[in-house]
Amino acid sequence: MADTRRLLSIAHRGGNHINLLHRAQEIGADYVEADVRLHGGRLEVRHLKTMRWLPLLYDRHPWRIAPGWTKRLLFPDLLGVIDPAMGLMIDLKGDHDELPSAIIEAIRASATDRRIIVCGQNWRLVDPFVGEDGVRAMHSIGRASQLDAFLRGDRKTEGISIHMPLLSKDVVAALRARAPLIVTWPVNSHEALRHVVDCGVDGVTTDSLEILQAVVAGAPGVDAAVATARPGSGPTRSP
């Protein structure tokens, strides 16, 4: 029987910048990912971190410094400009205990029926979203120690987002017993795409607009059907 898994297409950090958001929407991605953190009482959309007392922002991957005094995209504003038909994947950043409740409040206030995934490597912040109406809570696994901890534990999850270097068929099989949806990042080449499809994942997160377009269009080894995957439903297999 043919493998007809639906593969989710996710634009990595596509919600962090309005121009990338528009490109992902034009391509037809299932989701755009946005990094959201609580800073100064506001939900800011950015991957860059603050540099303590200096008015600068920085990132390590890749290393860069940016001015911290320019206007920052706020999460409620992102909800206001993103197409309601576009799914949103929220990557939780930082360690503020108030972050989950602030995001839940903003989502409820937006009063839009959109597909939302919340993920993060700080599992303590992801847990409050499990069972939240209209949201799929996914626990991110970025290191071998996190993978071991998840497989040894009994944490409830609605999906897993796993770093691609950790991926294998055996790992996906082990996760499949615990998670209804498995996506991986970053998938930035056709070789990587073929590898993760062969491993059996349900979705890919990519920085590459070319790979994003290939997944949406149905690249070799990728079923052309595109998932809509609302919370509570997942990719399906048919004979």
In a domain, 41, yes or no: yes
How distant, in Å, are the alpha carbons of 15, 51, 61, 103 from that of 66? 18, 10, 13, 25
Residue 228's pLDDT band, with cuts at 50, 70 and 90, is very low
Summarised one tens digit per residue, pLDDT across range 44-97 is 987 555 556 666 444 666 656 655 546 778 999 999 999 988 999 999 998 999
Kindly report the CATH number assigned to the domain that includes residue 94. Answer: 3.20.20.190
Q: Give a yes or no: residue 52 inside a domain.
A: no
Inside any domain, residue 63: no
pTM of the predicted model as reported, rounded to 2 decimal places: 0.84
Structural domain includes residue 122: yes
Q: What is the pLDDT of residue 238?
A: 28
Q: Helix, strand, or coil here: 194?
A: helix
pLDDT of residue 219: 62
Residue 68: inside a domain? no
Q: What's the pLDDT at 64? A: 63
138: left (phi over 0), alpha (psi -120 to 50) or beta: beta
Share of the chain above pLDDT 70, in %: 79
Q: What is the mean pLDDT of residues 8-36?
A: 94
Q: What is the pLDDT of residue 227?
A: 34
Per-residue pLDDT tens over the stretch 119-133: 999 999 999 999 998
Q: What one-character-per-residue DSSP string does 111-133 give?
A: T----EEEEES-HHHHGGGTT-T
* Length of the chain measured in residues: 239
Residue 157 lies in a domain: yes
In a domain, 58, yes or no: no
> 188 or 56: whose pLDDT is higher?
188
**Average pLDDT of the segment spanning 186-214:** 95
Contact 207, 32 (CB under 8 A): no
Taking residues 27-32, what's their average pLDDT? 96
Domain of residue 173, residue span: 8-47+78-217
